[in-house]
């Protein structure tokens, strides 16, 4: 077990290829670790043991042949198993075919043995669904591992698997990576295939991906995953060299703009500032030019645009699930029903206004990138919050259900609910939505640990298509300030 915990996916695949260990032996180690730590973490919510056993006994090929893996219980459909999306309403809704992303993971040779926890419909930056219960952070069981890929991040940080499936519609790869000491890249729009069940979610804001402990694993996973399918809406241009090749060379010297300012959270936690300052010092030591800048975009407007799109998606999603399953309101969380009602009551004008505003945010970043290669910000504006600290109080949950039933979304909007959501839901993660609305690549890199011993990542945002540049920089940072040796050996 000690050898397993000290190896990344690339190493494990090499051992399998050399005949030093079998896929079945690695699967046994992964499940033993899961059996030991998952009761405390609640990271894995669906086990797929019979499927995994059969696969581990078969012929496997690909860059990660024989490596144990977990997929997220959202978007990553596996034929014959439910994709609950964290909701009681979909608990028994069985996928009839693999998603494109899962098919590529299988083609890479991975042995998938379970699905990980996520908030209902991936709609929060924490992972505390009513249906499955909260996932806990292996660095401190009292705090969140973030969301919506919190189950995957907790599983990787605790050593169950060296990498796990994730997705990012507003920070859902980068937020949990920052909370758990992992590396997380949200790729450029269009690189990752979606479907065949759906097209690009959230008008291209959402992408699939992974959370990993090492940058080389991330590069190899994205090499295996990206590229259009026959059902893709359009062909995104691919890079001329693989990401694995790209990270082998030293990153070129970059000009990086740094900011910790945010209109929706003007007072980030001192640890968030310290994280960015530490990163800036390290970058300067490596020869990069770092300078403070004003935020290149109107983040208050961007937050409202993001939520207007999210409300509309939530309304459509609830209606879709009702049609599919006939689920009653009691099978949805109160917060979900309230968000759906806000979207339903708003109508199409705020949605299309928000979509029109995306061009403004793209142009703002384009102007910034004329003079700077990357934007450096905190990934989180505070250390990972306590489990339950962001739970809607029971009285307000009852009020939300009544408001949704009474179709009083316009009343909720007039009462300032949207402004409250911007402050409370996005205030602790004010910097992550920019990359989603603009389709730009962004990564969270685990360079800082708080005085309390919690990870706190920093974010870099790049030009469209600069995924390779981000990975190359991350590889250089990992070499200069290694984090792999930091291990969340949770007390059981």
The mean pLDDT value for 59-78 works out to 98
The token duo for 150 is 């919190």
Q: Model confidence over 185-214: pLDDT tens digits?
A: 999 999 999 889 888 889 999 999 999 999
Q: What are phi and psi of 306, to 5 degrees?
A: -60, -45
The mean pLDDT value for 83-106 works out to 97
**At 108, which helix (H) or strand (E)?**
none
Answer whether residue 294 is part of any domain: no
The token duo for 50 is 């019979």
The pLDDT, as a whole number, for residue 417 is 86
Question: pLDDT confidence of 250, banded at 50, 70, 90?
Answer: confident
Cα 312 from Cα 131, distance rounded (Å): 23
From the centroid of its chain, how far is CA 434?
A: 14
The pLDDT, as a whole number, for residue 438 is 98
Cα 285 from Cα 267, distance rounded (Å): 28
Q: Percent of the chain having pLDDT more than 90?
A: 89
The token duo for 71 is 């997929």
**Residue 107's domain spans which residues?**
1-251+466-489
Q: What are phi and psi of 487, to 5 degrees?
A: -125, 130
Burial of 371 (0-12, 13-18, 19+ CB in 10 A): exposed
Cα 284 from Cα 484, distance rounded (Å): 22
Q: Is 188 a catalytic residue?
A: no
Answer whether residue 385 is part of any domain: no
**At 45, which helix (H) or strand (E)?**
strand 44-47
The pLDDT, as a whole number, for residue 180 is 98
The pLDDT, as a whole number, for residue 290 is 98
- How many helical (H) and strand (E) elements, i.e. helices and strands, does the chain have? 18, 11
Question: pLDDT confidence of 280, banded at 50, 70, 90?
Answer: very high
Give me the number of domains the chain comprises: 1
Q: Residues of 455-464 as b/e, b for ≥16 C-beta within 10 angstroms? A: bbbbbbbbbb
Cα 86 from Cα 96, distance rounded (Å): 18
Checking DSSP bridges between strand 374-378 and strand 458-461, what pairing results, if any? antiparallel
Q: Model confidence over 332-358: pLDDT tens digits?
A: 999 999 999 999 999 999 999 999 999
Question: pLDDT confidence of 49, banded at 50, 70, 90?
Answer: very high
DSSP category for residue 49 = H
Q: Is 187 a catalytic residue?
A: no
The pLDDT, as a whole number, for residue 232 is 86
Residue 262, pLDDT > 80, answer: yes
Residue 491, pLDDT > 70, answer: no
Residue 486, pLDDT > 90, answer: no
Answer whether residue 115 is part of any domain: yes
Cβ atoms 201, 195 nearer than 8 A: no
The token duo for 143 is 């705090």
DSSP string computed for 210-264: EEESSHHHHHHHHHHH-S--TT-SS-PPPPSS-HHHHTTSPPPP-EEEE----SS
Neighbours of 488 (CB within 10 A): 21
Burial of 96 (0-12, 13-18, 19+ CB in 10 A): exposed
The mean pLDDT value for 378-401 works out to 94
Residue 244, pLDDT > 70, answer: yes
Q: How far is CA 167 from CA 118, 284, 312, 328, 344, in A?
A: 10, 31, 19, 27, 25
Q: Which of 251, 188, 192 has its CA nearest to residue 223? A: 192
Cβ atoms 412, 403 nearer than 8 A: yes
The pLDDT, as a whole number, for residue 259 is 98
Residue 376, pLDDT > 60, answer: yes
Residue 296, pLDDT > 70, answer: yes
CATH number at residue 169: 3.90.1300.10
From the centroid of its chain, how far is CA 321?
A: 23
Unique residue bearing structure tokens 């893996």: 69
Question: pLDDT confidence of 401, banded at 50, 70, 90?
Answer: very high
Residue 440, pLDDT > 70, answer: yes
Q: Is 232 a catalytic residue?
A: no
The pLDDT, as a whole number, for residue 231 is 86
What average pLDDT does the chain have? 96
Residues 6 or more apart whose CB falls under 8 angstroms from that of 266 comprise none
Q: Residues of 397-411 as b/e, b for ≥16 C-beta within 10 angstroms? A: beebbebbeeebbee
Question: pLDDT confidence of 122, banded at 50, 70, 90?
Answer: very high
Cβ atoms 440, 174 nearer than 8 A: no
The pLDDT, as a whole number, for residue 237 is 72
Annotated catalytic residue, options 84, 87, 99, 148: 148
Q: Model confidence over 126-182: pLDDT tens digits?
A: 999 999 999 999 999 999 999 999 999 999 999 999 999 999 999 999 999 999 999
The token duo for 251 is 């990153």
Radius of gyration in angstroms for the set of CA atoms belonging to the chain, rounded to a whole number? 21
Q: What are phi and psi of 28, to 5 degrees?
A: -60, -40
Cα 456 from Cα 450, distance rounded (Å): 7
Range scoring the smallest mean pLDDT among 16-25, 76-85, 478-487 = 478-487
The mean pLDDT value for 8-30 works out to 98
Question: pLDDT confidence of 7, banded at 50, 70, 90?
Answer: very high
Looking at per-residue pLDDT, the higher value among 270 and 409 belongs to 270
DSSP category for residue 44 = E
Residue 261, pLDDT > 80, answer: yes
Cα 67 from Cα 101, distance rounded (Å): 17
DSSP string computed for 346-388: H-HHHHHHHHHHHHHHHHHHHHHHTT-SEEEEES-SSSPPBTT
Answer whether residue 292 is part of any domain: no
Answer whether residue 108 is part of any domain: yes
Annotated catalytic residue, options 99, 172, 244, 425: 172
Q: Model confidence over 408-429: pLDDT tens digits?
A: 988 888 888 888 889 889 999 9
Answer whether residue 344 is part of any domain: no
Answer whether residue 302 is part of any domain: no
The mean pLDDT value for 443-459 works out to 97
Answer whether residue 343 is part of any domain: no
Cβ atoms 209, 182 nearer than 8 A: no
């Amino acid at each position: 077990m000690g050898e397993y915990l000290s190896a990344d996916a690339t190493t494990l695949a090499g051992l399998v290829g050399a005949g030093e260990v079998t896929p079945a032996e690695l699967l046994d180690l992964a499940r033993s670790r899961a059996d030991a730590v998952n009761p405390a973490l609640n990271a894995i919510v669906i086990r797929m043991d019979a499927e995994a056993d059969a696969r581990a006994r078969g012929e496997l090929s690909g860059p990660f042949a024989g490596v144990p893996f977990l997929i997220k219980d959202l978007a990553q459909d596996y034929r014959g198993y439910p994709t609950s999306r964290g909701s009681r309403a979909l608990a028994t809704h069985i996928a009839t075919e693999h998603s494109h992303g899962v098919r590529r993971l299988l083609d890479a040779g991975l042995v998938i043995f379970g699905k990980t926890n996520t908030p209902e419909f991936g709609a929060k930056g924490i992972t505390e669904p009513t249906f499955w219960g909260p996932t806990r952070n292996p660095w401190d069981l009292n705090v969140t591992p973030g969301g919506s890929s919190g189950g995957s991040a907790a599983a990787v940080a605790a050593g169950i698997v060296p990498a796990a499936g994730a997705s990012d519609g507003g920070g859902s790869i980068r937020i949990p990576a920052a909370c758990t000491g992992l590396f997380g890249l949200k790729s450029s729009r269009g690189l990752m295939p979606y479907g065949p069940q759906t097209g690009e979610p959230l008008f291209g804001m959402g992408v699939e991906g992974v959370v990993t402990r090492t940058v080389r694993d991330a590069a190899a996973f994205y090499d295996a995953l990206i590229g259009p399918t026959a059902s893709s809406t359009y062909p995104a241009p691919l890079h001329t060299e693989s990401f694995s090749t790209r990270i082998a060379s030293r990153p070129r010297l970059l000009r990086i703009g740094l900011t910790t300012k945010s209109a929706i959270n003007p007072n980030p936690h001192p640890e968030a500032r310290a994280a960015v300052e530490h990163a800036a010092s390290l970058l300067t030591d490596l020869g990069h030019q770092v300078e403070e800048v004003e935020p290149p975009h109107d983040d208050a407007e961007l937050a409202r645009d993001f939520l207007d799109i999210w409300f509309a998606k939530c309304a459509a999603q609830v209606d879709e699930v009702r049609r599919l399953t006939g689920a009653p309101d009691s099978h949805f969380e109160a917060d979900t029903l309230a968000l759906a009602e806000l979207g339903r009551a708003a109508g199409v004008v705020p949605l299309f206004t928000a979509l029109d505003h995306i061009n403004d945010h793209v142009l703002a970043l384009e102007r910034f990138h004329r003079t700077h290669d990357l934007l450096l910000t905190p990934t989180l504006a505070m250390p990972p919050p306590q489990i339950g600290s962001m739970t809607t109080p029971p009285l307000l949950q009852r009020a939300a259900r009544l408001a949704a039933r009474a179709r009083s979304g316009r009343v909720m909007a007039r009462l300032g609910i949207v402004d409250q959501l911007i402050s409370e839901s996005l205030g602790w993660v004010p910097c992550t939505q920019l990359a989603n609305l603009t389709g730009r690549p962004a990564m969270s890199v685990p360079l800082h640990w708080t005085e309390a011993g919690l990870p706190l990542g920093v974010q870099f945002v790049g030009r469209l298509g600069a995924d390779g540049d981000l990975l190359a920089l991350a590889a250089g940072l990992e070499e200069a300030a290694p984090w792999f040796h930091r291990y969340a050996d949770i007390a059981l």
